[in-house]
Amino acid sequence: MSSDDFTVHIVDDEEAVRKSLAFMLTINGFAVRVHDSATAFAHFAPGARDAVLVTDLRMPDMTGVDLIRVVSKLPNKIPSLVVTGHGDVPMAVEAMKAGAIDFIEKPFEDTVIIEAIRRAAEQLRDKAVTNESAADVRDRLASLSDRERQVLSAVVAGLPNKSIAYDLDISPRTVEVHRSNVMGKMKAKSLPELVRMVLAAGFTPVA
């Protein structure tokens, strides 16, 4: 879908962040509209057409997760991305469970968020969104060992390697090895991509 065919809506309570992101996207050919609060966009969203939402997670009036929950219930489809700071991965995963299709970790390269927005916009044209079929992802999940599935569950929950090591009674280095094996077997290039594919495939964390 051409960037002329949709509008990117940026929701962030920090004016400098809104302006910076809006400027970058505008010079890259996107139509952009900014909103200074989640509440403001929640009121606007029912009338939005051909829209892609990019929202911060931590805002004073309404969290990004709550905003995603509101947007996901609307009859008009608004693909949504969340931008997260360090340590907010569990909250980002919660947003994806609520309906966000991706999350972007700060600091990010311009190309990373541009590509994510373009992927999101494809949902406006085609509801069968994912680059990977659920069956392919389930096959890859089946190739994981029990320990790798445990590590995957912890990673998807946003736990750091040291916490995973403590919980599983293994060394942090062993966690790193398992984590690398999981990324390789799942063919995931990044943590957001890994989370996106396993949630889409209905992955059930190991208890």
- CA 47, chain centre distance (Å): 24
Q: Examine the pLDDT at 106 and tell me if it is beyond 80.
A: yes
Q: What percent of the chain lies above the pLDDT cut of 90?
A: 54
Residue 205: the pLDDT is: 67
Rounded to two decimals, what is the model's pTM? Answer: 0.73
Sheet (strand 80-84) strand order? 31-35, 7-11, 51-56, 80-84, 102-105
Q: Which residue has the tokens 């700060």?
A: 106
152 contacts 144 by C-beta, under 8 angstroms: yes
Instruction: Give the range among 15-19, 65-69, 194-198 with minimum mean pLDDT.
Output: 194-198
- CA 178, chain centre distance (Å): 23
The string of pLDDT tens digits covering residues 113-157 is 999 999 888 887 654 434 457 788 889 999 999 999 999 999 888
pLDDT band at 89 (very low <50, low <70, confident <90, very high): confident
